[in-house]
Structure 1
Amino acid sequence: MSRPRASGERRLDSFDRAILRILQRDNKTPQREIAGAVNLSAAAVQRRIAAMEAAGIIERNIAIVDTRALGMTITAIVEVHLTDERPPTVDGAKALFLAAPEVQQCYYVTGGISFVLVIVAGDMIEYEAISRRLFADNDAVASFRSLIALNRVKTGAEIRIA
């Protein structure tokens, strides 16, 4: 099984960048519409999108869901300090956080904090159970701090493409 090439192995030209800008706003934009916007044929757009997917530049296509529509009213940003930064400790934490469906985003970071997580929950009772399971009852976690979001000002994954 071959693994996808690293995104740095394919150079992006101005057409690729224009296509990516459109796809980031709405990845369901018809290819003929993209083609018209970037002055290429629909077939050329399709080939370029397929090549960017194969190269790992486009990692995946997702839907951003309004968590409130699912009754997920709590969004917590959590700073996690591990007991140590040895590979087995870090790898165990990564695996735990990756497997937890409540964890929407997880970043292994520098600056005195081990991880920053974004977690969603239905209510504070549910969040307490999640925080106990992932942090308080976890011997690898030295401490954690929860920041509860008051308002979701911006979400999405759009990256500025020059």
Structure 2
Amino acid sequence: MPEARIDDIDRKILAVLQEDAHTTMERLAELVGLSPSPCARRVRNLEAAGVIKRYVAVVDQDKVGLPISVFASIKLERQREDELDRFSKAILRWPEIVECYLMTGQRDYLLRIVVKDLPAYEAFLKRTLTRLEGVASIESSFALSQIKHSQALPID
């Protein structure tokens, strides 16, 4: 898909919405220097172009009882396209996996998994990841603390 044409006003709109997607259209228009109608039209255009994919609430994982973040590096037995696709489709079933990246280098995938405690991760590991066909190895690293977490892209 070609890159969307984004001007300075669109960048301002995106910056505000990335910080607070709950901002009213009137406030957004005021912040970016437009009247509400043209501002709303620009937001709709950004949505239609797929620049704005969706709106979500960012939930504090500690406050909902999921304080543990585990980064699991996965190496597959083979890196053939059908096996990469099978793994990618399989991990979509598990809500504990909140991020997954196909990687270059020594490992094929990097996953971020959130769980309530270490026994929950052990159970998840045993009942899911270790049972996936084609997985050669799994290396887990536990986050001690989160220093920065942002969904906002540096659009400027």
Q: Same fold (TM over 0.5)?
A: yes
1:99 match: secondary structure: coil
- The two structures have a TM-score, normalised by structure 2, of 0.95
* RMSD (Å) for aligned C-alpha atoms: 1.2
Question: Which runs of no fewer than 5 residues in structure 1 stay unpaired?
Answer: 1-5
Distance (whole Å) between structure 1 residues aligned to residue 8 and residue 23 of structure 2 = 19
Question: What is the aligned counterpart of 1:107 among 84, 101, 104?
Answer: 101
Question: What is the aligned counterpart of 1:58 among 52, 71, 74?
Answer: 52
Tell whether 2:127 aligns with 1:133.
yes
Aligned length: 156
Distance (whole Å) between structure 2 residues aligned to residue 141 and residue 42 of structure 1 = 52
2:11 match: secondary structure: helix
Say if 1:64 and 1:156, in contact at 8 Å, map to a contact too.
no
Say if 1:98 and 1:106, in contact at 8 Å, map to a contact too.
no
Distance (whole Å) between structure 2 residues aligned to residue 92 and residue 144 of structure 1 = 17
- Output aligned runs, 1:1-162, within 5 Å: 6=1, 8=3, 10-162=4-156
Structure 2 residue identity aligned to 1:59? K
Question: Which runs of no fewer than 5 residues in structure 2 stay unpaired?
Answer: none
Cα offset for 1:133? 2.8
Distance (whole Å) between structure 2 residues aligned to residue 84 and residue 132 of structure 1 = 21
Write out the 4+ residue segments of structure 1 that deviate beyond 6 Å after TM superposition: none
Between the aligned residues of both structures, percent identity stands at 34
More helix by share: 1
- The two structures have a TM-score, normalised by structure 1, of 0.91
